[in-house]
Amino acid sequence: MTQVEDDTVAPGNALAWTATSEEAFAHATAVIPGGVNSPVRAYRSVGGTPRFLESALGAYVRDVEGRDYVDLVGSWGPALLGHAHPQVVEAVQQAAARGLGFGAPTTTEVELVDEIRDRVPVAERVRLVSTGTEAVMTALRLARAWTGRDKIVKFAGCYHGHSDSLLAEAGSGIATLALPGSAGVTAAVAAETIVVPYNDVAALQAVFDEHGASIAAVITEAAPANMGVVPPLPGFNRELRRITQHHDAVLIQDEVLTGFRVGRAGWWGLEGASEQWAPDLLTFGKVIGGGLPVAAVAGRADIMEQLAPVGPVYQAGTLSGNPVATAAGLATLRLADAEAYARVDAAAVHLRRAVTGALAEAGVPHALQWAGSLFSVVFGEQAAAEGARDYACVQASEHWRYGPFFHALLEAGVLAPPSPFEAWFVSAAHDETVLDQVIEALPAAAQAAAEARAPE
């Protein structure tokens, strides 16, 4: 092992060793803001040093020190089948051997779009992009162009990427860092966004009664999972559809997290299809890239065909529809059959019961909330009595219990999300042996949560 001679890293100096996560993080903080390339990875919400990972296989990840962990993060959603599924890896290798990118159309991207449309028939047209943030930005631009209006309505605690107008009370990384929004967002941009409490139909109706003529769109997470999991109340999404239709506003359903993870057709397939309603636009990500950067905006043909080159709404991207990334996504979706979803659902149910059972045994007041196979824990007497139905409930919870809970799991070889404001993810690779390892770690973690004390 070769070590650097001082704490200063010269520009362009490559880190030729990674002996420990602590040393890797110390180096990273000298060259990357906060030492990470996405804020939640910094462990600010739970304390301690983030684990630097070097590999993953199936239900496990391995850090730079060679320690293995049961992974309950799943790359924040894409690892539906488990990490490094052999057939997905093979598809990526074959695609890479043909070239890493062309900046030109390929048949693979069309096949991926066909797979998306087959699963979600209301996605009449699909435009591939690289990130969920980019998909949402495009959806908002389409909504404003289609309606000729400027204002957007979002729900407190829902996260739709880091575009300027959607960072107000955004949950996830914003909540983790205890920031109300973000520096650098202008007052003029912020004024175009109206924030409404989640699951509150009356509040949304009041906003439309006052501002309906200027509202271009309502955007919502199909089932929020970025303030922890806060499922929609029965009929809530249907009411969003009714109100937006009445006022000729666009309904954008963000399925970047839920799309093709909670079921073959995402949350819309679980709810909208049976209730016979559909959003105007949807955004997808995560699973459709199989671990590589692919996202999409999709929906009604008449709105989607406002996009250039057939319409006046400009959107472009050199890496959009990248052949290697779309090969990963296509292989993942083709392998995500009914049996795979059944394994994911069964693993989630089994683990949910184990988590809530361990916490109850340790006398920790909590609510275990879920939406499909996504779930999270909300600590506190109020949560235990009533659940958490919106962002205010989550903020009022005893989330300081989560850090000790997290670290006890980590010491036992279980990597949970490093934030109480994130969903837990399982995969088709989380079999009984894997789940037993988590279950064995839960009593000590629950006791750590029970012994936690609120900060003064």
DSSP for residue 36: S
In 302-396, which ranges are E strands? 366-371, 374-379
Which entry of 63, 254, 280, 390 is annotated as an active-site residue? 254
Amino acid at 78: P
CB of 274 within 8 A of CB of 241?
no
Which entry of 286, 341, 390, 402 is annotated as an active-site residue? 286
The question of whether 43 is a catalytic residue gets the answer: no
Q: In angstroms, rounded to a whole number, what is the distance separating the alpha carbons of residues 359 and 47? A: 21
The question of whether 159 is a catalytic residue gets the answer: yes
**Number of helices followed by number of strands (H, E) in the chain:** 17, 13
DSSP for residue 362: T
CB of 146 within 8 A of CB of 117?
no
The question of whether 254 is a catalytic residue gets the answer: yes
Classify residue 433 by burial, with Cβ atoms within 10 Å: 0-12, 13-18, 19+.
exposed
DSSP string, 229-267: --PPPTTHHHHHHHHHHHTTPEEEEEETTTTTTSSTTHH
Q: In angstroms, rounded to a whole number, what is the distance separating the alpha carbons of residues 283 and 259? A: 8
Which entry of 69, 159, 198, 341 is annotated as an active-site residue? 159
Q: Tell me the catalytic residues.
A: 159, 254, 286
